[in-house]
Amino acid sequence: MKALIVAGKGDTPRVADVVLPPAGPGEVRVRIQAAGVCHSDLSMVNGTLSPSYPLVLGHEAAGVVVEVGPGGGERVGVGDHVVLNWAPPCRECWHCTHGEPWLCAHNGRPSAPRGNLASGENAHVTLGLGALAEEVVVPSHAVVPVPADLPADIAALLGCAVLTATGAVNRTAAVRPGQSVVVVGLGGVGLAALIAARSAGADPVIGVDLSEAKRDLALKAGATDFVVSDDGMPKAVRGLTEGRGADHAIECVGRSATIGAAWRATRRGGQVTVVGMGARDDLVSLGALDIFHSARTLRSSVYGSSDPDRDLPALAAAVLDGSLDLTPLITDRIPLESAPAAFERMARGEGARSVVLFG
């Protein structure tokens, strides 16, 4: 099968043949219909994160089950439409049994190689999936069934950008109607956060990005205002919130500079929710007096503080009944061969989500 791989840190992704094993005990094989190009994949390419190489990229995808291994049919069967879950909870560890499946003790560990390149070299897979590929073999609890009439390109986004963003707004931050929200960083996750904030009744909803070109995308996603990210951004946000600063800042970049800017753009007693996944050595510095005097809260949102088995079907239902419009998130629908160019666009901060369509 064809897959998008990166051979090493900083290398250009390329399409290559990968041989997958058959579905083993408790596993399923999924034919991918659509896969999003996510910034976390770019972090695998440029070395912000430290995966093993060669690496099959991709973790945000939807497809159809085509094979079920022994014992893998308790959740799904052949022909079922599914969204992939890159952080499937074990349901047995302390966090899972205490209502925090997004912090499952077994997630985030290096995954074993899955498949081989034509050279015979082992192929590792991004976040246990490697979903920018024609097919994947994954544990059965790493897929979530969705209705067959859910468009595949939209279904793919539910597995990462949308679940992460809506969870960050509704669950981690618990945004209430009438509260002000600033979203910093308007890639796919940031734009989805704008949609979620407007759906939650927030007002104003302020989008922030380095690129003025993101203004139209932000407004289409529900932003009431757009601010270019520069040294004056916190002051501009205060000017849009009666001088106080936003009740909530949703940081979708994962850099110390933007986390600091989000902190300064938030009112006293407000909350900064960090969604972006940053580098280990990029340290955030806050003054001890500032922490005390501002009474702000700084916390992260891992996978939107969500339970995919519960929340993904609800999001799919909202898309199908028209109450959740995700069409502003997709700016490019492309074949697998065009995915390397999509990574280049994403590195330049252009567009929102590129979605690879298969077949």
**pLDDT reading at 298 higher than 70:** yes
As a dihedral over the C-alpha atoms of residue 23, residue 28, residue 31, residue 34, rounded to 10 degrees, the angle is -140
Residue pair 81/146 in contact (Cβ under 8 Å)? The answer is yes
Q: What CATH fold (topology level) applies to the domain 174-300?
A: Rossmann fold (3.40.50)
For 229-280, what is each residue's pLDDT tens digit? 999 999 999 999 999 999 999 999 999 999 999 999 999 999 999 999 888 8
HSE-CB for 346 with a 13 A CA cutoff = 27
Question: Which of 67, 59, 55 is CA-nearest to residue 12?
Answer: 55
Question: How many residues make up the chain in this entry?
Answer: 359
Question: Which of 266, 222, 264 is CA-nearest to residue 241?
Answer: 266
For 304-342, what is each residue's pLDDT tens digit? 999 999 999 999 999 999 999 999 999 999 999 999 999
For 102-158, what is each residue's pLDDT tens digit? 999 988 666 678 889 988 899 999 999 999 999 999 999 999 999 999 999 999 999
Residue pair 41/145 in contact (Cβ under 8 Å)? The answer is no
Between 136 and 48, residue with greater pLDDT: 136
CATH number assigned to the domain with residue range 2-159+305-357, chosen from the 4 options 1.10.1020.10, 3.90.550.10, 3.90.180.10, 3.40.50.10680: 3.90.180.10
Cis peptide before 54 (omega within 30 of 0): yes
Other C-beta atoms within 10 Å of 121: how many? 12
- The edge-to-edge listing of strands for the beta sheet with 14-19 is 116-117, 14-19, 2-6, 55-56, 124-125
Share of the chain above pLDDT 70, in %: 99
Residue pair 158/146 in contact (Cβ under 8 Å)? The answer is yes
What pLDDT was estimated at residue 297?
A: 97
At residue 129, the 3 state secondary structure works out as: coil
Helix, strand, coil percentages, rounded to 5, for the chain = 35, 25, 40
User: What is the mean predicted confidence (pLDDT) over 284-300?
Assistant: 97
User: What is the mean predicted confidence (pLDDT) over 58-73?
Assistant: 95
At residue 295, the 3 state secondary structure works out as: coil
At residue 354, the 3 state secondary structure works out as: strand
**pLDDT reading at 169 higher than 90:** yes
The dihedral sign for the CA sequence 283, 45, 164, 25: negative
* DSSP secondary structure code for residue 213 in this structure: G
pLDDT band for position 90 (cuts 50, 70, 90): very high
Going from N- to C-terminal start, the domains of the chain cover: 2-159+305-357, 174-300
Residue pair 278/76 in contact (Cβ under 8 Å)? The answer is no
